[in-house]
Amino acid sequence: MILGDGIIDVQENGTKVVLESGKVLDSELIILSIGVRPENKLAADSGLELGERGGIKVNEYLQTSDESIYAMGDAIEVTDYINGQPTMIALAWPANRQAHIVGHHINGRNIAYPGTLGTSIVKVFDLTAATTGNSEKLLRRLGIPYEAVHIHPLSHAGYYPGAEQISLKVIFDIETGKIFGAQAVGKDGVDKRIDVIATAIKGGLSVYDLQELELAYAPPFSSAKDPVNMAGYVASNIVDGTIETVQYYEVDELLQDGAFMIDVRTEKEHADGKIEGSKNIPLDDLRNRLDELPKDETILITCQVGLRGYLASRILQQNGFKVKNLTGGYKTYSIFKNKLQ
């Protein structure tokens, strides 16, 4: 990462990048990800009201501050469907829907636009990344309390060829189970999981309802518990108070402050990669090694993706221990650490 030194030029068919400092970087691939600004000159020159980021302000029928003028698409300011705040979301589906609404309103039929959810997807080489609703970063900025779960299921039954791992995060209200958003990354099956969750949000469903969704299953397409169902089970356990979790970005500081963590994976898994400071007690040995654990403090638990950690949490809770399971397990933590490094 090069901070505080912007790009001023790209030369030699994209193989040279010139920075403001005069430094020249060699490049094989350039990806510009610098955001967008609304083309609002006509609106501004016409005296129409603009939002804080320059988006054209509209009402629920897409009328501007001059009710005889409509605006739609990337240049308008919309309402965030989740948090109700003004925002700008430049996507094709909202623009098409807005055009439909404007056409009807001009002809006397009042269909209100409820806001934009922001469901989007991108293909990056062999990976697909998709999102819907609000992110953790946005919710933190707005001061909205939330909880998040991470799971890493396969795109379809593991015994059927071609199964690929999906990393799926669901963000929700810990009090009500209301779904705030979701993100997923993987090689296969990402699109349909995010689409299902986007539909669930629009339908007012909670994380409890994700457990109940009866989705199409055959080994080439999914598992008997679809990843969306699995996310619902994990999130519902938190809302119910069945289990408490700790996030990947909290672990290092907790361990530095003296927290006690056990890794319930096998000895080989632990040797291949571990969270520094964790004590390895394989899940199958846990009941026989309870005397090695402190009862006067909260025990942090990790496994590979969270499932064995959940089982260990239930065993320890039933034996009088206070525990928190690392959501997403070592898989999520290691991705985070590699990103930082």
Q: How many CB atoms lie within 10 A of CB 117?
A: 22
What was the pLDDT predicted at 12?
85
Task: Give the C-alpha distances (Å, rounded to integers) separating 240 from 232, 272, 281.
Answer: 12, 35, 27
Name the average pLDDT for the chain. Answer: 95
DSSP-based three-state secondary structure for 23: coil
The tens digit of pLDDT for each residue in 192-245 reads 999 999 999 999 999 999 999 999 999 999 999 999 999 999 999 999 999 999
How many angstroms separate the CA atoms of 77 and 39, rounded? 12
Query: 169 with 153: CB under 8 angstroms?
Result: no
Cβ neighbourhood burial of 126 (10 Å; 0-12, 13-18, 19+): exposed
CATH 3.50.50.60 residue ranges of the chain are 45-106, 120-239
Segment 196-199 long-range contacts (CB within 8 Å, at least 24 positions apart): 196/226, 196/228, 197/132, 197/133, 197/170, 197/228, 197/231, 198/117, 198/119, 198/132, 198/133
Q: Spelled out in words, what is the top-level CATH class assigned to the domain 45-106?
A: alpha beta
Q: How many CB atoms lie within 10 A of CB 158?
A: 12
Concatenating the DSSP letter of every residue in 168-198 gives EEEEE-TTT-BEEEEEEEESSSHHHHHHHHH
pTM, two decimals, is 0.90
Q: What percentage of the chain reaches a pLDDT higher than 70? A: 99
How many angstroms separate the CA atoms of 95 and 101, rounded? 10
Q: How far is CA 205 from the centre of its chain?
A: 17
Q: Which CATH number fits domain 245-340: 3.40.250.10, 3.30.70.1380, 1.10.240.10, 3.40.30.10?
A: 3.40.250.10
How many angstroms separate the CA atoms of 90 and 85, rounded? 16
Dihedral pair phi/psi, residue 139, rounded to 5°: -65, -40
How many angstroms separate the CA atoms of 121 and 138, rounded? 18
Q: Which CATH number fits domain 120-239: 3.50.50.60, 3.40.190.80, 3.40.50.300, 3.40.50.2300?
A: 3.50.50.60
How many angstroms separate the CA atoms of 54 and 68, rounded? 20
Pairing of strands 56-57, 76-79: parallel
What was the pLDDT predicted at 336?
84
Task: Provide the token pair at 180.
Answer: 């705030």
The tens digit of pLDDT for each residue in 7-63 reads 999 998 889 999 999 999 999 988 888 888 999 999 999 999 999 999 999 999 999
| Nearest residue to 333 (alpha-carbon basis) of 308, 303, 310, 294 | 303
What was the pLDDT predicted at 340?
53
The tens digit of pLDDT for each residue in 123-160 reads 999 999 999 999 999 999 999 999 999 999 999 999 99
CATH 3.40.250.10 residue ranges of the chain are 245-340
Average pLDDT rounded to a whole number, residues 263-287: 96
pLDDT band of residue 2 (cuts 50, 70, 90) is confident
DSSP-based three-state secondary structure for 92: helix
How many angstroms separate the CA atoms of 158 and 167, rounded? 15
Report the DSSP beta bridge partners of residue 165: 154
| Nearest residue to 102 (alpha-carbon basis) of 66, 72, 77 | 72
Query: 243 with 325: CB under 8 angstroms?
Result: yes
How many angstroms separate the CA atoms of 116 and 141, rounded? 19
